[in-house]
Amino acid sequence: MIRRQAIVLLALVGLLVATYLWLYKIGVLGELQCGTGSCEYVQASRYAELFGIPVAFYGVAGYAALMGLGLAGLRPRFAADRRVGALLATLATLGFAFTLYLTAIELFVLHEVCRWCVVSAVIMTAIWVLSIVGLRHRPPTTP
């Protein structure tokens, strides 16, 4: 249960980060607070969109789905349901793979790193690890 709570909390933070980047991309926010990173350079590159949709929006959708699924998994009727854990792990694996792709683009193609993307990558990695570990543990059985 603690793991799913952690996944929900992480997904919420990830959702906020992705929403921030998405709002910037669609022009609602004027400037990214990035410190020493190269957020705007990365966000202005052609890799910041996939099939005409901002990459950040995929993050918003992915984190929202993870959060919704995690919240559903916290309900007593789904707490012992292994399908929820499997779905979480599947979604987290997809998110993790996408994160690896984006990080590789930053490191090896753009040679610039966006600090918010790093935050998102760390969050997605943590969610992935927690969801995989959750799969390996037997769910608590209800009497």
Q: CA–CA separation, 75 vs 80, rounded Å?
A: 9
Closest Cα partner for 24 from 50, 48, 52? 48
Q: Total binding residues for another protein by CB under 8 A?
A: 30
Residue the block writes with tokens 């349901």: 81
Write out the binding residues for another protein, residues 40-69 only, by CB under 8 A.
40-41, 44-46, 48
Please pick, from the candidates 5, 93, 103, 125, the single residue that binds another protein as defined by CB under 8 A. 5
- The CB-of-108 to another protein minimum distance in angstroms stands at 15
Q: CA–CA separation, 118 vs 124, rounded Å?
A: 10
Q: Judge contact between 43 and 119, C-beta under 8 A.
A: no
Binding span for another protein by CB under 8 A among 22-30, 84-92, 100-108, 134-142: 22-30
Interaction site with another protein (CB under 8 A): 5, 8-9, 12-13, 16, 19-20, 23-25, 27-34, 38-41, 44-46, 48, 74, 111-112
